[in-house]
Amino acid sequence: MGQTFAQIWALVRQIPPGRVATYGQLARWAGNPRLARAAGYAMHAAPADVPCHRVVNRLGGLSDAFSPEGRATHRMLLEMEGVRFRPDGTVDLEHALWEGPSV
């Protein structure tokens, strides 16, 4: 695997509890705003020490490729951490979105 994956994983690990980050932001902080797709693929190959459940798309929800079971677990984990959810099942990005690694 390339340097990019490690970069993305490092950022994901820095996401504080109760907060979530979008693939676009991760890519942006990784150095390339266009790495959004690669970021998602990085999650696909992400090890267990990477809280990939704190990573969501720009809609505030998990990707369709995520298993239905994993989706439920994802929501449960975030709710347990204090993340507020909307009636439609998406994360309230306005309240739970991570400000960034430099904050």
Residues classed as catalytic: 52
Provide the residue count of the chain: 103
According to the binding rule CB under 7 A, does residue 78 interact with DNA? no
According to the binding rule CB under 7 A, does residue 86 interact with DNA? no
Measured distance CA(4)–CA(69) in Å, rounded:
28
Q: In the chain, count of helices (H) and strands (E)?
A: 5, 2
- Selected binder of DNA within 9, 12, 15, 23 (CB under 7 A): 23
- Interface contacts to DNA, rule CB under 7 A: 1-5, 22-24, 32, 34-41, 43-46, 52, 55, 57-59, 62-66, 70
